[in-house]
Each structure stands twice: as structure tokens, then as C-alpha cells.
Amino acid sequence: MKEILKLKDVSKEYGVRGFRTRVLNNINFTVNEGDFISIMGPSGAGKTTLLNLISSLDKPTKGEIILDGKDITKIKNKDLSNLRRDKIGFIFQDYNLLDNMNLMDNIALPLALGKKKTKDIENKVINIAEIFGLKEHLKKYPYELSGGQKQRGAAARALITDPKVIFADEPTGALDSRSSSDLLESLSRANKEENATIVMVTHDALTASYSNKVYILSDGEIKCQLNKGDNRKEFYGKIIDMLASLGGAK
């Protein structure tokens, strides 16, 4: 399998000399092409800090973060925007759709500055929209969509450029249970059918059970790795048991 992301002894500290707090301590893990990984842990475990580091929004105090063969900790800030545009897709808790564009144009937005023909862009949007159950809603504007439809639209937009990896930060945090299930089923389908590589931060064990692998953080360190197997219900139970043992069951 091709390595998409590799962390080598990554640590992060905040504060000034003599009054520093270590938030992450010697983190090591690998994300291969086609992985669907969840990062979990109690509040304050370092989940958001880790996501900011691997998505190039922050730099570690020490260690290497290799994305598609390049150590992003050594890339100059002025070049990081190109890296995010070309290699990374983002799904945030709030949808970030533009109100003055319909859903098709919102999904197609990352391709707007490229050289693809309009018809090719439309075909690609329709294909992605079908995966996310949005094909019948492409002409609608955000105010005409439910929260779940907007979030699936944001996820489709993250996938439209065929990024090396998609980072999802609590993507179900603002959704009800039905909308959460629809989004997670769509992400699973994108992972299987489009070989999308997804790294998701979540506090919720049910959400994490849709992924294929779970890393659990506690006190700034990876305490364990859980692999899914064939049964999602059993995987959910394993996640709950491990979180309970670490004091972070949800």
C-alpha cells in the first residue's frame, strides 16, 4: 500500500521557555492510501492539535510529518496554501457553503481555477453528488437544503479535486442522528468506491465505527489502535470498551 501520510516522533508544545506545556508527545502513525481512520480521545487529549498539525495548519515543536512523500514541516508558509489546494480536502463542522451559489457551483468551486472543461466539471460533480445522495438537489441554494444535505455538499466539495487525503473535524457534530448516518454512509461509500483516504476527528464512538481503524489519544499520546474487521456493531463495542477504560466513553 502507498503511504499517504506518516508521522515520525511528532511533539507539540505551547508556552514560553520555562513555562511550556506538551500537548502531544512523540506521535507515530501511518495513513495508507484508501484508509478511513478516526482519531478519538477524552477532551484535552490533543485531537484538534493533531489534526491541525497533519493538515498543515500548524507546525510541530519537533518531528516529521510526511504528506505524499514531502515533509510538510519544512515547507515555507507561502507554499502551504498550494499544498492544501492540491493535496488536501477539508470537512468542517460548519458547512462553509456560499449562499449566493447553488449546490452544483459550491461543489465545483475548488475546480474553478483549473483548466478542466465546463462539461467535464459538471460530469464530475454529478458523479460525486450521486455518492452523497445529492443528485436531485444540485440546483438548490444552501437556504433550501437541510443541515445534513449541506454537510454532505461540503463533503462532496472536499472530494471533488481527488485530494490525497481528506481531513474531517467532527463532521457530524452539528447533525441529528439520521443526518449523521447519511453522511457517514456516504463517506464510507466514497472510501470504498473512490478509494478516498479519510482522517476524521470525532468524540463519538458510533461515528468512529464507520471508519476502518481508530487511534485513541490520551494525555498527548496514542494509547491504542483498533482495527474494524467485518462487523461494525462489534467494532463499536470495542471502541466503547476502550474509551471507558481511558475515561472517555461517549
Domain harbouring 122, CATH code: 3.40.50.300
Separation of alpha carbons 46 and 22, rounded Å: 10
User: Measuring CA to CA, how many Å separate 46 from each of 10, 75, 113, 126?
Assistant: 12, 23, 35, 37
How many CA atoms lie less than 13 Å away from 66 in the CB half-sphere?
A: 14
Q: What is the pLDDT of residue 248?
A: 55
Average pLDDT, the chain: 94
Strands (E), the chain: 3-16, 19-32, 36-40, 62-67, 70-71, 88-91, 165-169, 198-201, 213-218, 221-227
Q: What is the pLDDT of residue 112?
A: 83
Residue 162 CB neighbours (<10 A): 12
| Residue span of the structural domain in which 232 resides | 3-246
User: How many domains does the chain divide into?
Assistant: 1
List the one residue out of 192, 236, 190 whose CA is nearest residue 210: 236
Q: What is the pLDDT of residue 114?
A: 75
Whether pTM > 0.85 for this model: the answer is yes
Separation of alpha carbons 106 and 156, rounded Å: 9
Q: Is 66 exposed, middle or buried (0-12, 13-18, 19+ CB in 10 A)?
A: middle
Separation of alpha carbons 239 and 101, rounded Å: 40
Q: What is the pLDDT of residue 1?
A: 81
Q: What is the pLDDT of residue 223?
A: 94
Query: What percent of the chain has pLDDT above 90?
Result: 84
pLDDT, tens digit (0-9, with 9 covering 90-100), for 35-70: 999 999 988 889 999 999 999 999 999 999 999 999
- Cα 153 off chain centre by: 15
Separation of alpha carbons 42 and 170, rounded Å: 14
Q: What is the pLDDT of residue 142?
A: 98
pLDDT, tens digit (0-9, with 9 covering 90-100), for 116-170: 888 999 999 999 999 999 999 999 999 999 999 999 999 999 999 999 999 999 9
Q: What is the pLDDT of residue 117?
A: 87
Rounded mean pLDDT of 19-39?
A: 96
Rounded mean pLDDT of 4-24?
A: 93
For residues 248 and 35, the model is more confident at 35
pLDDT, tens digit (0-9, with 9 covering 90-100), for 84-124: 989 999 999 888 899 999 999 999 999 987 778 889 999 99
pLDDT, tens digit (0-9, with 9 covering 90-100), for 169-198: 999 999 999 999 999 999 999 999 999 999
